[in-house]
Amino acid sequence: MGSQDAAPRVHWWGTLLYVPLLYGLGWLTSRPLLLLAPGWRADQVDLAGLAVSLLLLLLSLPLRLRRVWGDGHPWQRLGVAAMGWTPLAGALLRGLLKALLLLAPLTLLLLASGQARWLGDLSGGALANAIALLLGVGFAEELLFRGWLWGELELLVGRRRALLAQAGIFALLHPWYRLPGLSALALLGGLTLLGLVLALQRRADGGLLWGAIGMHGGLVGGWFALQNGLIELSPAAPAWLLGPGGANPNPIGGLFGMLGLLTLLWVRRRYRD
């Protein structure tokens, strides 16, 4: 996924500490807001801290790739930049299409079976939130996991192990453990499959990150839009279909979502090596 200009100098301790240090700096920077803006809720202050951490990641990644990876073209290596906008836009649209192909059949099944009712009433605020999730979560998590982490792991443990390791770490760092029993395991399995699918999407796009961004962001933003105005889910809808999470189900942990992800893995099987 890019050429190297010097010998890499990646060490496990640096990989393990890099993101926690950025997160800690963001958390510490946001704490004064509790005094300067007493009207802010704790979750708003935490969100501000995450924004600072993301900014620090964007500022420090080029330096890390140059000094630790030995790469003189960091944004190209991460898959964010390319020669011209056409390949970037094409990858993003392909990722969005994959997200649509995963969400649309589930939505149609829910409507046809009476487990959901079509509303089609998406407010401007809900649409803005969906777009913010698409761009924010999609870009931030893909830059972190399929960009930086996958690249570091390849340098540390090799290509095949890195592919599996990045998916496992991606899944483990999400709050699947807040759910009980089998629901937690189902969500963990779905997240692992998603991590593999997103990595293979990037590989299929020739190293560009925007296809994975489009798919990941499209799933998060699209499901938010569906739940917040487009459809009304039945309280009796089964968790095995909708996915675990109770009032806020995550479809990638449901049977239909997993089947969709497994199908994409099967389609991408030629990129496994």
**For 90-111, what is each residue's pLDDT tens digit?**
999 999 999 999 999 999 999 9
Q: Give the pLDDT of residue 273.
A: 45
Which candidate, 111, 256, 116, 149, places its Cα nearest to that of 193? 256
Q: Give the pLDDT of residue 253.
A: 93
Least confident among 19-23, 82-86, 242-246, 269-273 = 269-273
Q: Which residue has the tokens 């959901």?
A: 116
Q: Are 80 and 147 in contact (CB under 8 A)?
A: yes
Which candidate, 201, 197, 195, 138, places its Cα nearest to that of 168? 195
Q: Give the pLDDT of residue 77.
A: 95
Q: Give the pLDDT of residue 270.
A: 59
Q: Which tokens is 139 given?
A: 């870009």
Q: Give the pLDDT of residue 5.
A: 62
Q: Which tens digit of pLDDT belongs to each residue from 121-180? A: 999 999 999 999 999 999 999 999 999 999 999 999 998 899 999 999 999 999 998 899
d(C-alpha 248, C-alpha 221), whole Å: 14
Q: What DSSP element (H or E) covers 117? A: strand 116-118
Percent above pLDDT 90 for the chain: 72
For residues 24-32, average pLDDT: 88
Q: Which tens digit of pLDDT belongs to each residue from 63-79? A: 999 999 999 899 999 99
For residues 34-43, average pLDDT: 77
**Distant-in-sequence contacts of 180-189, Cβ < 8 A, 24+ apart:** 183/239, 183/244, 183/245, 183/253, 184/244, 186/243, 186/244, 186/253, 186/254, 186/258, 187/243, 187/244, 187/245, 187/250, 187/252, 187/253, 189/253, 189/258
Q: Which tens digit of pLDDT belongs to each residue from 203-258? A: 999 999 999 999 999 999 999 999 999 999 988 889 898 989 888 899 999 999 99
Q: Give the pLDDT of residue 95.
A: 96
pTM score of the predicted model: 0.91
Which residue intervals of 120-251 are DSSP H helices? 124-142, 150-157, 159-172, 181-204, 210-225, 239-242
> Across all residues in the chain, what is the average pLDDT?
90
Strand partners, 116: 233
d(C-alpha 123, C-alpha 244), whole Å: 26
**Spatial CB neighbours of 152, under 8 Å, sequence gap ≥ 6:** 10, 15, 69
Which candidate, 50, 45, 44, places its Cα nearest to that of 25? 50
